[in-house]
Chains A and B, each alone.
Chain A
């Protein structure tokens, strides 16, 4: 069974540009999460999809970030325009059940560098 995949693995862009990160969850997983880790700090929750609906987007830092999950399969996270402080590693995770106890399976992350 394929795990959670993320694309690209690395992205280097200039301030003001747009970047789109993609996450493919484990097949059949209705729950999809985005997290971000700024260098050396804790991994922070950004948002949670249940199928195509945003269940919780309380962690999204500002309106430059837009997450979508059309059709309830893969998800994209767009940053527009990117700022220096957006640099970090963006993780995606998925889980089968909508319960706190269900294991979240993580992808390898996308390392975003904004110059």
Chain B
């Protein structure tokens, strides 16, 4: 089985500052990794996903994440955040051959002016 740990439940940051949201996973098989974002009163929206190939994945809204197999991490980064990035972010993993997506507990990013 797979599991995901999001190390920070809340991350406050000032506008235009860089941000990193941390995600570590555990799995006995190869995995696919995802980051979703949930804006208030909306559904989860896919930011980016790592399937294979380049370990640096670029997503929407200027976000990127790097897959690090040795550290079993998939941290999400953005060099300069905007007020509109305020949302909850979820890291998720699927083990190869499964369809059962496992999520972390979420990180609430608050961008302050």
Contact = CB atoms under 8 A, between A and B. Distances in A.
B43 A44 contact: no
Interface string A27-41: 000010101000011
Contacts of B106: 42-43
Nearest to A45: B100
Contacts of A105: 43, 46
B102 interface: yes
Given A100-B96, A101-B51, A106-B36, A45 B101 contact: yes
Nearest to B36: A106
B44 A106 contact: yes
B99 A56 contact: yes
A93 B36 CA distance: 13
B97 A100 contact: yes
B104 A42 contact: yes
Interface string B93-109: 01111111111111000
Interface in B19-76: 32, 36, 41-46, 49, 51
B101 A104 contact: yes
Given A100-B94, A100-B96, A101-B51, A108 B103 contact: no
Interface in A1-55: 3-4, 31, 33, 35, 40-45, 48, 55
A109 interface: yes
Interface string A89-106: 001010000111101111
Given A44-B103, A106-B43, 7 more contacts: A41-B105, A42-B104, A55-B99, A56-B99, A93-B44, A104-B101, A105-B46
Interface of A: 3-4, 31, 33, 35, 40-45, 48, 55-56, 58-59, 91, 93, 98-101, 103-109
